[in-house]
A and B are shown apart, each in its own frame.
Chain A
């Protein structure tokens, strides 16, 4: 029992560097920045309440209140700003600006913790208030920012570390938070793969075709796509196998590289062929932060061993 407990603790609290955290921070910083810029012209259009927007923000927030009163939303900010005479439009603009600043703060690593909390809060407000118009990228950004703000910041590549000489309070938790992210990704891909496997369309490739011609993801002309129809079944089965096999093959050192490259290639493909750049980017960031640093270290270790191998071989 004691051995099992020690092994479990060893698994949950591994030693490690803060390289993964730097990747997560910078990656999420870029993601938040791109997210803000991508919605710049439609921000008020999507998030205005009281009949000024195309999406019923007030209704989304009212429905959210049925579930919980305590989930952050843009309506809170509008209510807080009303007594000081700030219009809703101004509040939304300020929220957009703050989200952008938080994203830039994360990229350079300035006021890391504050930037992470601010980005998480504002992105959550945006996702929840635009509830009817939210999609997968919002969930994954919330997940990433939630783990980032709880992780031991700052990392050694941030300006906080280099200029302000700030150090994390609980560096021993670095490995733990990385493990949480790794396990979460395994659950995500397993269930994503499992639900896809249940549909016949992923086995015969028809779902690949439908995903690529479905508006608004139809960025490639179907006349061009149809020439590649023999690849659709292989693509559909590969997606199912990559996703459902992720929790098994991503842990083994011999298959990790293949699986990580495969998953990242799948997301690059989604980004390029369906125009879902933000979705592709966040998934790649989460994957590379969770499992990428080990690959680099393994590669370095292999390279450093080469002279010994050569000596051994020539000696033999």
Chain B
């Protein structure tokens, strides 16, 4: 019985925390004054899942382990409150003979394509620049192995804006907005980001 109470307390705490985070980040149909309340409430709810403890604290470690092994570490707000736009990563491959080719991260199944899309969403959403850079670099390295003759690779990351129904009817199609570019060369130099 104690396990059941703890189990559902954790599920509800994680779900409440993520819901409050969505309200705090907005936009939602709620008035904007709810944002500050949600932020405060989210901090309070985070205590229930041990987020206020230090990362190495045994209680926090135990809770995190349990949340992960039971699959309840994430909330269930898929495509909520609104469906976000998607992201696109294009690799510009520069050959020694000045030839330029373009490549996209490709997979052989639809199931894997969802994972690549999820990866691009994570790259797009992260606010931590070094993490974004590292994830793009790993993908660029993979592309490089498939095209070993390439001299330099430019990774161009952008967001895809989706048209509304009305815009689509008036001929507007999805558009691509540049966000970041990273240059990689064979000399293992650190990438040179070119933001916006």
In angstroms, Cα B118 to Cα A213, docked, is 16
A127-156 interface bits toward B, Cβ cutoff 8 Å, 1 = contact, 0 = none: 010101111101111110010000000000
Chain A contributes a number of interface residues (CB within 8 A of B) equal to 73
Q: Is B74 an interface residue (CB 8 A)?
A: yes
A63 CB to closest chain B CB, in angstroms? 9
Cβ of B110 under 8 Å from chain A: yes
| A184–B11 CB distance below 8 A | yes
Whether B65 pairs with A70 at a CB distance below 8 angstroms is yes
B106 nearest CB across to chain A (Å): 9
Interface residues of B in 36-83 (CB under 8 A from A): 55, 61, 64-65, 68-83
Q: How far is the CB of B188 from the nearest CB of chain A, in Å?
A: 12
Q: Check A135 against B65 for contact (C-beta < 8 Å).
A: no
A132 close to B135 (CB less than 8 A):
yes
Q: Is the CB of A42 within 8 A of B109?
A: yes
Q: Is B108 an interface residue (CB 8 A)?
A: yes
> Which residues from A are CB-within-8-Å of B15?
187, 191
- CB neighbours (8 Å) of A45 from chain B are 107, 112, 142
| A211 CB → nearest B CB, Å | 5
From 44 to 77 in chain A, residues with beta carbon under 8 angstroms from any chain B beta carbon are 45-46, 51, 53-56, 59, 64, 66-72
| B103 adjacent to chain A (CB < 8 Å) | no
Q: Do A142 and B71 have beta carbons less than 8 Å apart?
A: yes
Mark A residues whose CB is within 8 Å of B. Answer: 12, 35, 38-42, 45-46, 51, 53-56, 59, 64, 66-72, 124, 128, 130, 132-136, 138-143, 146, 180, 183-184, 187-189, 191-192, 194-203, 206-207, 209-211, 213-216, 222, 226, 229, 232, 275-278
**Sample of 17 A–B contacts (CB below 8 Å):** A38-B112, A45-B142, A55-B138, A59-B131, A130-B115, A191-B18, A195-B18, A198-B19, A200-B28, A201-B83, A207-B83, A210-B83, A214-B86, A215-B86, A215-B88, A216-B110, A226-B169
Residues of B participating in the A interface, judged by any CB pair closer than 8 Å? 1, 4, 7-8, 11-12, 15-16, 18-19, 22-23, 27-30, 55, 61, 64-65, 68-83, 85-86, 88, 105, 107-119, 122-123, 131, 134-135, 138-139, 141-142, 160, 162-165, 168-169, 174
